[in-house]
Each structure stands twice: as structure tokens, then as C-alpha cells.
Chain A
Amino acid sequence: MKKIIYLFTISILLFSCDTENNDNDLFGDGYDRQSILLNWADNIITPAYENFNISLSDLHQSVEEFVSNPNESNLIKVSADWLTAYMKWQYIEMFDFGYAETINYKNKMNVYPADADFIDVNITSEILDLNNNSYNDARGFPALDYMIHGLAEDVSSIVSLYQNDERYINYLVAIIDNMIYNTNLVIDAWSDSKNDFIDSNGNTATSSLNIMTNDFIFFFEKGFRANKFGIPAGVFSSNPIPNSVEAFYKKDVSKQLALEALQACEDFFIGKHIDSEISGPSFSSYLNYLPGSSDSNLSNDILSQFSTSRTQINSLDNNFFNQIETNNIEMLYAYDAIQLLVVYFKVDMLQSLAVSVDYVDADGD
């Protein structure tokens, strides 16, 4: 008799999908996942792209002023706008999906360290089309860093290079043009695909939540943890590689950029709107909603580890190059604090969210 009840109930479970109407309110786990996608799309991704685009136009403008009138104050203006745009860039590097992924946007914008010798060769041989992927380390922000701060010892000698040799001007323009060209492509594609992004609310490897979760974790692990800390501090090599810090030629902003990237990740985790103190649905609220068998609150653990990491990074030299050269242990402590966040994201959060990840789709049992 018991079995018949089981059979009956299971059959209802199975066949009810055919008989009842497919009301969208009954769709999902009671948590409105689409609200996360909506929040990400409208309040984070779109405004982050807009902010970046504005800062990039400002940079473009100051480059043009410098080009028409290469002097020290114009170069300093370029440098300041370069930093502003670089800060805004930290908020969008993680959106490595859709067209951005297709054209390898992040490699067009921020592969460091830049290859100074390669850039020098490009300048003298007047290479102006930088869109081919063989120019990864000769374009984007790191290449601009070299062009603005690294061509010579001091500002006046750099300016005189631009004054005396047009090829420098041409290469500088080629870099910024390439950045604008690709940024426009990505932003246009995003506006076209935004609604699809919001509507793709399933749980398959190609659903928005799954893609964004993977991208977020990938950026945190690779773009943030490894590139900004691990590689220069020598975590992945026998000896430290201090000149692979971000913004190597500007020298004193690597900490500032890293802190901004950490902020971008934390903001994204809690769903904080760009340029506003309001927070919407995101990982943190979703994790709080999901039932977990563990007593501790994962979301709180993650937030407290964010703050531990920030404290650790704050204790470092403004210039990571100096920090690594003088006292690399502190740099490694910061790396360890960040690594614990990676564990939280890749192990605890991925298991709780149970999102399909883009591994091989082999069978399970």
C-alpha cells in the first residue's frame, strides 16, 4: 500500500508538468534569480561600462590635446586621465562574456607587464594597427603606462621624445584608438544583448547566472589574485618578479588599483549599485536565501574575509614593486588572505549555488 502511495505521488510529480499550466510564478526556487540578473545588468554592468566609456573619452581627449601640443602639463593631464580610466577599468574586467569574450577584450586592454622592447620596435617600425592578438603586451593600459611614464627618466625627456619624433605620437594614438575601437564594440554588443542576458535565467552552463558566476570567480582568482599579487610576489615562480606589477612605470599606483579591484569584487558580491550606496540582489543575498547544512553564514564569512584582505593590502607600500623588493613577506600575507577568499568562492559558494560550470559535459552517476 505504501508503495502505491509512493508510486502515485511520484507519478504526480512526473506528469503534473504536462497537465498544469506553465505559470512563471511557479518557476524556480522561490528566489527570483531574474532579479539578480536585472540588478547586475541595470545597476552594475551598464553603469560600469558607461563610467568606463566616459573616462576613456576623457583620456582620448587629453591625448589629442597632448598630441597637438606636446608639453609637460598636457602629459601630466594624460597621466591623470589614464589613472582615472584605469581605476574604472577594474570594475569591468570581470565581464568577460559574450562579445567581450569573443574578441578577447581584456587581453586587448590589460595584459601586463607590457613588453617595452616590443613596443620600442613597434614605434620605430611604425606599426599602427594593434588589433591582432600578437600585440597583447604592446597595447592597452600597460602600454600606455610605458608610453606616458616609462619612455625616459623624467617627464621633460619623455615630452621631448614626443616633440622630436612623430612616431611616438603615432603609436600613442594607435594605442588609444585601439582601446576605443574595442570598447565601442563591446559596449554596443552589450546594449544589444542585455535583454537576452536578463532573460537567460536557467541553470545550464550557458545561462547568465552560471556564466557570470564563473567569470566573477575567474577574474578574482586570475585577474586579481594571480596577476596583481601572486605573479609579482613570486608565488608561481622560484623568485619574485617585481616588474610584473600592474602600472609598473607609474610606480606608485599599484596598491590603489588593487584596492579598487577588490572593491569592485566586493561590490559585485553584495550587488551594490555603481555610484550609489544602494545594494540589490546578488551572490550575498542569494547565499543567505539558500538552505545550507552548515551553521555558519557563508556570506558573512566572505564579507569578513574581504575586510581582512583589505586591511592586509592597506598595510602594503603604495608601490608593490618597492614592497616586493624590500619586504615580500607582507605581499605574500596579502596573497594568503586573498587565497582564502578564492577557497570560499570556488568551493563553498559554488557548492551552495550548485550552478553548472563550464567543464566537460561528461556523464555523472
Chain B
Amino acid sequence: MSKIFSYLQSNEDSSILAVYRIFFGILMFCSIIRFWLKGWIEELYIIPSYHFSYFGFEWVEPLGNSTYFLFLICAISSFCVFLGLKYRFSIIIFFLSFTYIELMDKTTYLNHYYFVSVLSFLLIFIPANASFSIDNLISKKTYSTVPKWTIDSLKLLISIVYIYAAIAKINSDWIVDAMPLKIWLSSNYDLPILGHLFQQEWVHYFMSWAGLLYDLSIPFLLFYSRTRIFGFLLVVIFHVLTKVLFPIGMFPYIMIFSALIFFSADFHRYILNILRKILNNFIKLNSEITTIGIYNIQYIKPTLIVISLFFILQFLIPFRYVLYPGELLWHEQGYRFSWRVMLVEKTGIANFKIVNNDNTSFYVDNANFLTPFQEKQMSFQADMILEYAHLLGDYYSQDSADKVQVFVDNYVSLNGRKSQRYVSSNVDLYSIKKSLKHKTWIIPLQDEIKGI
């Protein structure tokens, strides 16, 4: 107990958090701007007439043209985080606006967006503006150290991502069949030299196994000072490689900069000194700033309780899939929010049949309701299939007393297997309530994937 107490009392150089805040802010700012410039706000949130919601968050919807305003708020708040200007307020606004954006449409779910959301939530409770921030100029106070646990909690979150990503790879598709990397790597045949290598079977296995060992070992390599530089080199190589191979956006950069937090205080002071020199060329700051030794967190007890709860949830959520029988990679119940990165290659087709009360029936052209991207994502994810079936049911039913039935003709292929029926074709999906309960109407995979 006293050990825990003394740990909570111990401090670490505040420059570590300052560097983290600066990189996080600028990368988030660039991500939002990039998203905007690519026209994705319009393509993903304005053009689609319908959006897939997360269970319990049906009220979160795009705001029409005001969606641009939402992104603007998100961008400005990330820039304020970068500056350390009204940090606590800015990071809260960033967390809220970013999370709202991600909740607007399930179609665009990506693990790295989820990572940004949970990371920005954690940052709310962390004094990342203790030094090298505009807040210091305003309050005329700067802090040389911060509680050590604030830095360690960031390290812990990053370690969770890697370790859980490794655990998720311990299955027969990944290890025994080198799937889905076999499909993805061989499709990169148009890369010079690498394209040729990626056709070799040993490369598929090498990359699968190396990827698993990488995810498993990175937190430890980064943790120990003797292996840190080597670990960081691996981080850079791995993420640059994924950047070359896959359309993965800003994620590699976020992970590379995140690894820096494991480095020593000297390293971070060094970075800040460089920044300070650059800044001094432009502005001379004459204001008197008092340096205070230790940053004391107000409301320390509630903060620690929130953070403990946060991590307990982070530990448990990825394992919620054990509550569902059957093959996780197939039915995807409990798949999201679990750091299951790049595990499946799925292709599907889903045609919906509307049966009227007089027993006449017809198939729906999905293009009338969904964008190609939405249709593609929906066609192999059961919760989205159900949600879409309800949309169709509502649309084609004259009134609540005269309900149609909605059936789906649905085939999915997983990791190179032959396609098979996914959702049962003789279940009226419109009569099934949306819930987190086990979806008995998913036809089990006619194959076994061993592992966790």
C-alpha cells in the first residue's frame, strides 16, 4: 500500500508530456485538415442519405452542412491543444467533437479513430500543459515536474493497444494460413521489387509471424532503456511499411510519435530546447514566469478513480466476445473496440427482399439507399445488415398495422474461404429487435478457426 502511495507521489519531468501534447495536437490538426481536403466530409457524412448508428447512440447524426462546422471546431481545438492554449477546455472539446464525428456513422469505424478517442479522453485528466504551453504565459507559472503516473498511464494505454493486437493474432488463420496477409501482400504486385517478394509464400508467413512478435514485444522493448532505440527503430520500420502497403492514413505517424513517450526526460528536454531555439528566432518572451517544482493535480482522488475505471474497462472490453458463441472473426459480435487490427479480409453481397402482406415480393436496389462504401461495409456485418433491414422495413411499410417482411440473400467470404450464406435467408429481419444479444440468425462458419 505504501508502495502504491509513494508511486503516486513520485514525479517525472514535465517536458515528456509537453512533447506528447505538441505532437498529438499537430498530428490531429493535420488529420482533420487532410480528411477535409480529401473531400471525405462531404463523401462520408453529407452525401449519404442514411447513416449506420452505434447501439445506444442512434441520436448521433451528421449535422448537414453544419458538419463542416463540427470539423472546424475539432480542428481548432486540436490546434489549441498543440499550443497548450486553454488546454483542459480544448482537449475536452476535442474529445467530444472527435468522438461525435466517429459516432455519426458506423461505416467508417477504424481502430485508430477509436484509439484517438480513448487517448484524448485520457488526456483530459493529464496536465499536458504543465510546461511549454501558452497557458504558462497566461498564468505566469510553469511546472518542472508532473506526477509520474500521468505519463505512465499513457504508456499503459499504448501498451494495451500493442498487446491486445498481438493476442488477437493468435489464431490459425493468421499463424497457420498466413491469412489475410497472403491476399493483401500478393495484391501489392505493382510495387517495385517488393511486389515480387510479396508473392513468395515464405514472405507471407514471415510477415504474419513477425507482425505478431512485433506487437507482442514492442511495449517491452520500449520499456527497457537498453532495447529502446532498437524497439523504436522497429516501430518506424513497421509503420512505414504498413504505410507503403495499406491505405492506412495518419495511423502510422500517430503510433510512431506515441512511442516517443517511452524515451527519457533528457530526450524530451532536448526536443524542447530545439523548439525553444527555433521559437526564439521569431518571438522574444520577456514576461516573468515563475517555475514551480511539482504540478499538483486538483481533485486527485476522483481523477484516480476515473482513470482506474477507464483502464479496467480497457482491459475488459476486448474480451467481451467470450459472451458470444461461435467464431468471432465470422460473426463479429464483440469485434470492435478491441484492437483487432487487420485481421480479416471479408467480401460480401447482400440483396434484400421485401415481402408485402399480399405475398408479392421484390428485391431492393441498395444503391437507392446506400453509398457504394456503405453497401460494401454492410454486406458482411450482421448488425449493419439488421439496421439496414429495419430502414427498408420502415420505408416500405405503409403504416404500423401493415408491416412488410424483410429477408436477405447474403453471402460472405472470409480470408480466402469459399463464400457461404451469412445471415439466414428465411428470417424476417424486420421482426427482429436491434440489441447486443447473440444473433442466432447468423449462420455459423462452416470451418473452424482455432485460437483466441
Contact = CB atoms under 8 A, between A and B. Distances in A.
Interface of A: 3-4, 6-7, 9-11, 13-14, 16-17, 20, 22, 26-30, 33, 201-204, 207, 230, 234-239, 290-294, 296, 298, 301, 339, 342-344, 346-348, 350-356, 358-365
Q: Which 6 A-B pairs have the closest CB atoms?
A: A354-B187, A363-B249, A202-B190, A29-B199, A293-B416, A29-B189
Contacts of A17: 191-194
14 contacts: A7-B233, A7-B237, A22-B192, A22-B193, A28-B195, A207-B190, A236-B362, A238-B362, A291-B182, A342-B349, A348-B413, A351-B416, A359-B373, A360-B372
Contacts, number: 166
Interface string B177-198: 1010011101111111111111
Contacts of B362: 234-238
Nearest to B375: A359
A203 B418 contact: no
Contacts of A293: 177, 179, 182, 415-417
Interface of B is mostly: mixed
**Consensus secondary structure, chain A interface:** loop
B186 A343 contact: no
Given A354-B183, A364-B248, A27 B196 contact: yes
B21 interface: no
Given A14-B237, A294-B418, A296-B418, A359 B196 contact: no
A354 B365 contact: no
Nearest to A343: B411
A30 B190 contact: no
A294 B251 contact: no
A16 B195 CA distance: 12
Interface stretch (B73-81, B85-93, B150-158, B339-347): B339-347
B347 A346 contact: yes
Given A236-B365, A294-B418, A347-B419, A16 B193 contact: yes
Interface residues on B, range: 35 or more
B361 interface: yes
Contacts of A28: 189-190, 195-196, 199
A26 B193 contact: yes
Contacts of B365: 236
B234 interface: yes
B416 A203 contact: no
Interface in B396-452: 409, 411-413, 415-419
B342 A365 contact: yes
Contact of B210 (A6, A290, A353): A6
